A and B are shown apart, each in its own frame.
Chain A
Amino acid sequence: MTSYRDWVLSEIRKGEDSTKIKQITSIGDEFLEIISQKGHHLVVGFADSKYVSSKDVQDLLATENQPHIIIAPYKSIWSGSAINYARQQNLGWGGIGELTRAIDSDDVAAIQKKEYEFVESGLNKHTKVQRLEREFDRVFTIHRINGLSPLKITLINEYELTADHVTHASEIYGSFDIVLKTNPNGNITGMAEMAAEHLSVKICSWRGLLGRLNKR
């Protein structure tokens, strides 16, 4: 099977973003170097792993290729420590979508999925939020002020939220208090609500979560 790096290379070459690129070069097995038409230089590191750990990020940084962004396959799960480490090193992180956004970005270090940007930025502005702890790519523990108990939330970006989405999230990430439905459109099925109740989990919209943060 084609490696993830080579698959991304081929997708970029045939995709709409190819017009933004002047030159793209493979470096070893785990890196690409991209020079854009505007003259931006971007080194991309590839973590071809189902579970991206901080060691994966460290290993990519331990080479002479010093990446600006690290990307992983769509189904990879990033640990909180991998994300924190990447950010401490001023690296963007994500998948092929984030790579294409990074090509002409002036702030590659800030790049992550827009869904996560929105949630992080919104939660950090909430008056009851003391700090956010990244558990996984889709899981945050929200530490609150005034002795309010922490809440662990899992982000699910689906149009129709089903029972399986809730159950599958708990299989991947373990226990949590709240599912945040990050897609503002669509619905939550009755069976999704039942699955959540079975796991003692509450499903919230964005607005619902902001209100929940004010309560005990």
Chain B
Amino acid sequence: MNPIFYVISTVLHDNNDITKGIKIYAFGSAIRSDKQPNDIDILIIYVEDTQPKVIRRLLDNMGNMPLHLIFMFPQEELETNFIRAQKCVEITALFNAKDQ
């Protein structure tokens, strides 16, 4: 699994005064394919209006691989059924599974 998922999770959890209440998911080619992905797709379910701006800043130095961030309020996720439709995986499950 791409180590960037671990880095993203760590950065966001280390700043939990700002990121409190968010849920982080990965989706797309980076978690499904053995090929080199074109980008890293991340869904963040957030609860405070200010969180996307701060989280973007926290994740600003993740290297050159394109990081495609989608921020949704819980209501937007319910409306679009995004997690199910895109087969999103909670990010911690990715590296926990690798550790086992």
Q: Is A4 an interface residue (CB 8 A)?
A: yes
**A155-211 at interface with B (beta carbon < 8 Å):** 158, 160, 162-164, 167-168, 171, 186-187, 189-192
User: How many whole Å from B4's CB to the nearest CB in chain A?
Assistant: 13
Please, which residue of chain B has its CB at the minimum distance from the CB of A168? B52
Q: A7-B64, A11-B36 are in contact. Are A171 and B71 (CB under 8 A)?
A: no
B80 touches which of A11, A75, A187 (Cβ 8 Å): A187
Q: Is A74 an interface residue (CB 8 A)?
A: yes
User: How many whole Å from B80's CB to the nearest CB in chain A?
Assistant: 5
Q: Is B79 an interface residue (CB 8 A)?
A: yes
User: How many whole Å from B35's CB to the nearest CB in chain A?
Assistant: 8
Q: Is A7 a contact of B53 with CB atoms below 8 Å? A: no
Residues of A within 8 A of B70 (CB): 158, 160, 162, 164
Q: Is B61 a contact of A1 with CB atoms below 8 Å? A: yes
Q: Is B75 an interface residue (CB 8 A)?
A: yes
Q: Is A2 an interface residue (CB 8 A)?
A: yes
**CB < 8 Å A-B pair total:** 57
Residues of B within 8 A of A190 (CB): 75-76, 79
Interface of B is mostly: mixed
The 3 closest A-B pairs by CB, nearest first: A164-B71, A7-B64, A74-B66
Q: Is A191 a contact of B75 with CB atoms below 8 Å? A: yes
Q: Is B30 an interface residue (CB 8 A)?
A: no
Please, which residue of chain B has its CB at the minimum distance from the CB of A10? B64
Q: Is B80 a contact of A160 with CB atoms below 8 Å? A: yes
Q: Is A74 a contact of B36 with CB atoms below 8 Å? A: no
User: How many whole Å from A42's CB to the nearest CB in chain B?
Assistant: 20
Q: Is B63 a contact of A2 with CB atoms below 8 Å? A: yes
Q: 1/0 contact trace for B18-61 toward A, CB 8 Å?
A: 00000000000000000010110000001000001100100001
Q: Is A162 a contact of B64 with CB atoms below 8 Å? A: no
What 14 new A-B contacts, CB under 8 Å, besides A97-B38, A162-B71? Answer: A1-B63, A7-B63, A14-B36, A75-B67, A160-B76, A160-B80, A162-B73, A163-B73, A164-B52, A164-B72, A168-B53, A186-B80, A187-B79, A189-B80
Q: Is B6 an interface residue (CB 8 A)?
A: no
User: How many whole Å from B28's CB to the nearest CB in chain A?
Assistant: 11
Which of B39, B53, B65, B80 has the most C-beta atoms of chain A within 10 angstroms of its own C-beta? B80
Q: How far is the CA of A162 from the CA of B82 in the complex (A)?
A: 11
Please, which residue of chain B has its CB at the minimum distance from the CB of A48? B64
Residues of B within 8 A of A168 (CB): 52-53, 56
Q: How far is the CA of A3 from the CA of B52 in the complex (A)?
A: 26
Q: 1/0 contact trace for A1-29 toward B, CB 8 Å?
A: 11010011001001100000000000000
Q: How far is the CA of A8 from the CA of B63 in the complex (A)?
A: 12
Q: How far is the CA of A168 from the CA of B57 in the complex (A)?
A: 12
Q: 1/0 contact trace for A78-100 toward B, CB 8 Å?
A: 00000000000000000001000
Residues of B within 8 A of A189 (CB): 72, 75-76, 79-80
